[in-house]
A = this chain, B = another copy of it.
């Protein structure tokens, strides 16, 4: 409930603020006997690293991950794996001017309301930088379910659209679709921990997300049962469905078809246009941001969507193993 842990049998706890000394993750429940190197984790982290192109934030970070525990002679030991990344490029002074006001679209106000104070530097814990730990854990989750393949892609916006809003000092939202292939049947469970329910929570836990849909999703609203039901057929001795409106999940349990879901993101809250807001003490003020920021988080969010999906499936895979008696 404190809210910084995710998963049951494969469980991660992330920690760290955008401008603190470091950020990291502890992975508890990784089975023993898996090969694991810092290089493999680094490879995933590099996919979400800022500063890679014109359209992503220009903040430069080495983001070098260190394995601090749980791996011995290159093999996981079954004990907690602690991963840490030092925060190297921290221009905290940039944030002095937002210290006493509430940026629209950001969590400044709600953190203050909940905790009575906040680490205002770079969004603190609400920063997308927190997801470094999730992506690092992705490298490990994949090893538990090596046959299952996660592939997220940007549906919208185009890079052209991103460049256009960037010129305007504005930002834009977007849509990511994720396909999961080679999913065994039987993952997930009835009622509250339905596989799609867990994916929904996982996706809405990513900063900036506003919606989740699986299979025919919001289109189902206008569909008829005769259109939406996926008929079962046998194909090469395997039970499959002719169509896949279910998105690979029936009654909360995987049916062996591809899992397909989409995640809606709002535009980045930080824009370089003038905005009205209020200060901590309740005075009207005007906010004019400047500095380095993504006009669109989507390109960097792709591996995060895959990571969260993999965390759910690795966890459910272990749960499914447990009841095979």
Residues in B with CB closer than 8 Å to A181 are none
| Contact assessment for A113 and B256 in the assembled complex, using a CB-CB cutoff below 8 Å | yes
> Is A36's beta carbon under 8 Å from chain B?
no
Contact of A186 among B110, B256, B321 (CB under 8 A): B110
Copies of chain A in the complex: 4
Contacts of A119 in B (CB 8 A): 72, 77, 79
Chain B residues near A14: list those with CB within 8 A.
Answer: 80, 191
Tell me, in angstroms, the Cα distance from A78 to B116 when the chains sit together.
Answer: 9
Taking the closest CB of chain B, its distance from the CB of A203, in whole angstroms, is: 7
Q: Does A16 contact B (CB under 8 A)?
A: yes
Give the interface residue-count category, chain A: 35 or more
CB distance from A122 to the nearest CB of B (A): 12
**In the bound complex, how far is the Cα of B210 from the Cα of A172, in angstroms?**
25
Q: Tell me whether A300 is interfacial, beta carbon within 8 Å.
A: no
Residue among B77, B125, B192, B321 making CB contact with A5, cutoff 8 Å: B192
* A45 part of interface (Cβ distance < 8 Å): no
A174 closest partner in B (C-beta): B221
**A44 within 8 Å of B (CB atoms):** no
Is B68 a contact partner of A3 (Cβ separation < 8 A)? no
A56 in the interface, Cβ–Cβ < 8 Å? Answer: no
Map CB proximity to B onto A97-140 as digits: 1 under 8 Å, 0 otherwise. 00000101111011101111111000011100010000000000
Q: Besides the contacts A1-B189, A111-B190, A211-B220, what 11 more A-B pairs have beta carbons closer than 8 Å?
A: A2-B28, A3-B252, A15-B81, A77-B125, A110-B255, A113-B255, A144-B325, A217-B264, A229-B271, A318-B325, A321-B325
